[in-house]
Amino acid sequence: MGSLLTPELLANIGRTAAPKKELVTRRDIRKYAVATGQRVQKFIDGDEAPPMFYIPLFWDVVALEQLSPDGVSMDTLIPEFPLKRAMAGGLEIEFYQSAFPGDWLIARRTLTDIYEKQGRSGPLIFYQVTMEIKTVAGDPVLTEKATRILK
């Protein structure tokens, strides 16, 4: 059986999206803390961002019709794959330092891997996106490696 991954698809490995720069605000930290049920007072008061705060910080704000079926904005970093049903395949996060009100953070996302495996019900395509978040001074805040599986 031939591979679903063409040389054109594999050529996308290493592609990087335009960096995104966002300001961490006390109000946004407090809203996130309330929405996620935080119990640590420094998060509730907005003095320090909880570890997963960065996730929505860099999301695009788009109209509803611009969302994918699973409710996220279309990711222009990801090429068109022959398999369409997406599932979470894992998340690896390495934290280096906390974020605080007034911090400007820069996120850079890179498509770092694409590979194929044979599952019980047919072929699966895996891809990994690595996001590095740093301060404007270049100090690392965190690295996230997210794997998606296409079926």
Q: pLDDT by residue (tens digit) across 37-76?
A: 999 999 999 999 999 999 889 988 888 888 877 777 778 8
What is the spatial distance between Cα 22 and Cα 103, in angstroms, rounded to a whole number?
Answer: 8
| 107 in Cβ contact with 19 (< 8 Å) | yes
pLDDT (0 to 100) of residue 128? 98
pLDDT (0 to 100) of residue 82? 95
- In angstroms, the Cα distances linking 151 to 74, 85, 86, 117, 125 are 18, 5, 7, 10, 7
Question: Between these two residues, 75 and 36, which has the higher pLDDT value?
Answer: 36
pLDDT (0 to 100) of residue 81? 95
Amino acid code (one letter) for 77: L
**How many angstroms from the chain centroid is the CA of residue 31?**
20
pTM above the 0.85 mark?
yes
| 113 in Cβ contact with 125 (< 8 Å) | no
Residue 121, token pair as written in the block:
């019900």
* pLDDT at residue 122 greater than cutoff 60: yes
| 130 in Cβ contact with 142 (< 8 Å) | no
pLDDT (0 to 100) of residue 1? 54
Give the domains, in start order, of the chain with CATH numbers.
Answer: 7-150 (3.10.129.10)
Question: Between these two residues, 62 and 91, which has the higher pLDDT value?
Answer: 91
**Average pLDDT over the chain, rounded to whole?**
93
| 116 in Cβ contact with 126 (< 8 Å) | yes
